[in-house]
Amino acid sequence: MATMDEIREFANSLKADRLIRIKVGSNKDDEPFLISQRRLESASEYFRKALRQDSFKEGGTGQIDFPEDDYDAWAVLMFWMMSAFHIAKDKLKPDLLIKCWVLGDKYEIPEFQDQIMLELLFMVQYNDTEDIIRLGSELSPAGSVLKRLIAEEAAVALKNNNVDFESLEAAFNGNGMLRDFVLARDNCEADFDFYLRRFDSLAAQGLYSQDGKGNEEWRSPTWQNYMISNGSRPQWLLDEIDGNL
């Protein structure tokens, strides 16, 4: 816990902290977001560079324009930056989550990407797979964990007969998905439930049944393979896991 002197020093520093205007999208009726320069710069090196007053016009004007970005994805990012929120779990739709993850990738905010990815991992198994595959294939960067996740969900959907291969090809639309999909399909063929157990581990399944108090290995699952930052595991994830035992 910080001392009162440290708290007062922080509070006083906010008085001199200017507000930065973030204009998102091309709709002139959308008001710019306002956020303190200190908070924005703490989120990403991208913003620290953009707001250097001696290097870029944004540093002098105090406004950054992102005409091609998604407004709702920015709204989620702003909320996260202001409160480091425990994500709303079932309140955000998969298409928005995908856009949020890509936004975090664009502006180099791995902690935000990890929060979004955790929610997306919970959501993908309960939503319209083909729409998720189409959007994820289009927006996900090559070689990213998001593209790998989309390929895995495509393999599961094909195995479950929820979609045919022709529909998958149309959803992929030449966006570099085939290599990831082939690997995911092979894994799915070898162990059909592999991608359905992202929040547990193979060894822990038997161990947990023998130990009424649970087992620490159960809390070392494969969802970690989709994380980018080295941050601690969000508490809400543990709460979610405990609630499903």
Task: Tell me the domain boundaries of the chain.
Answer: 1-68
What is the pLDDT, as a whole number, of residue 197?
74
Phi, psi dihedral angles at 22 (to 5 degrees): -115, 110
Per-residue pLDDT of the chain (245 residues; tens, 9 = 90+): 456 776 677 666 666 678 899 999 988 888 999 998 888 998 999 998 888 765 667 667 888 999 999 999 999 999 888 875 555 555 678 899 999 999 999 999 999 999 899 888 888 877 767 888 999 999 999 999 999 999 999 998 888 888 888 888 888 887 788 889 999 999 888 887 777 777 765 444 444 444 444 444 444 567 888 999 865 455 444 444 444 43
- Joined tokens for residue 227: 């994380």
**In sequence order, which residues have a C-beta less than 8 Å from that of residue 211 and are 6 or more positions away?**
none
**In sequence order, which residues have a C-beta less than 8 Å from that of residue 2 and are 6 or more positions away?**
10
Q: Are 112 and 221 in contact (CB under 8 A)?
A: no
What is the pLDDT, as a whole number, of residue 202?
42
- Joined tokens for residue 38: 């200190």
- Of the candidates 99, 132, 108, the one whose C-alpha atom is nearest the C-alpha of residue 228 is 108
Q: What gap in Å lies between CA 184 and CA 152, rounded to an integer? A: 5
Record the pTM.
0.79
Q: What gap in Å lies between CA 169 and CA 165, rounded to an integer? A: 6
- Of the candidates 245, 167, 234, the one whose C-alpha atom is nearest the C-alpha of residue 209 is 245
The CA-atom distances, in angstroms, between 5 and each of 2, 12, 13, 42, 74 are 8, 11, 12, 22, 34
- Of the candidates 141, 143, 148, the one whose C-alpha atom is nearest the C-alpha of residue 120 is 148
